[in-house]
Amino acid sequence: MICPHCDKILRRRQRSMRTCAHCRRRFALEPKANSLHLHDLRVRTLAERLSDPGQAGAPPLRYTADQLRMAASRKVLANPDGSSAWLGCMGPVTLFGVFVGFFALVAQLGELFVAVVLVVFWVVVICLIGHVATARRRRLSGEPMSASAFTLWVLDPWVEVYGVQPPGLLPPRPVVDVLPPGPPAALLYCPDPGTIDFLTASGIVDRRGVALIVQGREWPPAALLAADRAVPVLVLHHADAAGCLVVPRVRAALPAGTRVIDAGLRPRVAERLGPPVRLPPDRSLLRELARTGSVDAAEQAWLARGNTLPLAAVRPARLLAAVERALPDGDPDEARAEAVGFMAWPEPAA
């Protein structure tokens, strides 16, 4: 890795105790010590990328810890480690058994030879059974690092060394509904508090007059039930079975005639945006989703294979642009695009 202070290339023995052997200054992250292989310069690069609004002259964006974590997870998700500890155990045991068995055979120790063969045989059988039994878990391994582990192994060491959070990171805070000063032009409902926090910090509430509603204990939220039917309700959700079900559930809960817009994240768009997070699919949710008809057959199949994508995995500038485009502004072309969710999203960069 490269020292974030003196730019020297450091081998493993030159950075013990997270201290550079050249400038003697401490750094926050040892890439060999965290599952995302993060180091300080990588976190700074990610912070700059997430803060970039993508438009000249626009102020830098703020981002959440989950957005930073998912951006740091892209390489690991794109190149999953399919190695099996069971096969890793079976190899050394087999080699040891061959060595001892050969020794016993040469020394004419028949009983020892038979015992070694039996032990190695059963160890190999157990390892093969374990390998097969855990294949699904390895294939649907989920997120490379949980939110709590990311705080423990990345953010806390960063603050310990630098005294502040990575530049642009939003501090943790309670997330509540956010309303504009005047009557809202639209309501945006999102079950993910982190996305609501990011959108609040982006200034979209004052800029576009949209009310941000986060999921609470009650279902549906009282703010949605009390909304004027002429005010459109946008639903922003994760690309998973539970997220895709939010739209039909909101439609069913609101009074007839309320305009409900699926603002995404649709599975067909999530498939293009980046490597998915693979989780065991909930078959009951998939069956319910199929009955609603809110996703097509290709999207249903994508979800059934265990593919998901949280909103935090979408680059902040792209997420904000998609929400801006989904908000009604009187453009008939945009109005027609509302029915298909994120079809108005900017295409991902090559």
With respect to residue 177, please indicate whether it lies within any of the assigned structural domains.
no
Same domain, 191 and 149: no
Evaluate whether 313 touches 195 at the Cβ level (below 8 Å). no
CA atoms within 13 A on the CB side of 151: 7
Same domain, 146 and 129: no
Could you give the CA distance from residue 269 to residue 277 in angstroms, rounded to a whole number? 14
Same domain, 193 and 282: yes
Same domain, 256 and 294: yes
Evaluate whether 243 touches 286 at the Cβ level (below 8 Å). no
With respect to residue 229, please indicate whether it lies within any of the assigned structural domains.
yes
Same domain, 226 and 96: no
Tokens of 75: 């390489």
Evaluate whether 303 touches 289 at the Cβ level (below 8 Å). yes
Same domain, 294 and 214: yes
Total tally of structural domains belonging to the chain = 3
With respect to residue 2, please indicate whether it lies within any of the assigned structural domains.
no
Same domain, 55 and 123: no
CA atoms within 13 A on the CB side of 68: 26
What band does 134 get if pLDDT is binned at 50, 70 and 90?
Answer: low
Same domain, 89 and 223: no
Per residue in 289-309, pLDDT (tens digit) is: 999 888 899 999 999 999 999
With respect to residue 71, please indicate whether it lies within any of the assigned structural domains.
yes
Same domain, 158 and 111: no
Same domain, 124 and 147: no
Same domain, 295 and 339: yes
- Smallest CA-to-CA distance from 338 within 269, 247, 235, 263 is with 263
Per residue in 53-85, pLDDT (tens digit) is: 877 778 899 999 999 999 999 998 887 665 656
Better-predicted residue by pLDDT, 307 or 343: 307
Sign of CA dihedral 50, 53, 59, 61: negative
With respect to residue 75, please indicate whether it lies within any of the assigned structural domains.
yes
Q: Span 223-240, mean pLDDT?
A: 83
Better-predicted residue by pLDDT, 283 or 115: 283
Contacts of 73-78 with C-beta under 8 Å, sequence gap 24+, read 73/36, 73/143, 73/144, 73/145, 73/313, 74/274, 74/275, 74/313, 75/36, 75/37, 76/35, 76/36, 76/37, 76/144, 77/144, 77/274, 77/275, 77/276, 77/277, 78/274, 78/275
Same domain, 71 and 106: no
With respect to residue 42, please indicate whether it lies within any of the assigned structural domains.
yes
Overall residue count recorded for the chain in this entry: 350
Residue range of the domain that includes 116: 85-133
With respect to residue 227, please indicate whether it lies within any of the assigned structural domains.
yes
CATH code (residue 190): 3.40.1360.10
What band does 140 get if pLDDT is binned at 50, 70 and 90?
Answer: low
Strands (E) across the chain are located at 186-190, 210-214, 233-235, 260-262, 277-278, 307-308
With respect to residue 350, please indicate whether it lies within any of the assigned structural domains.
no
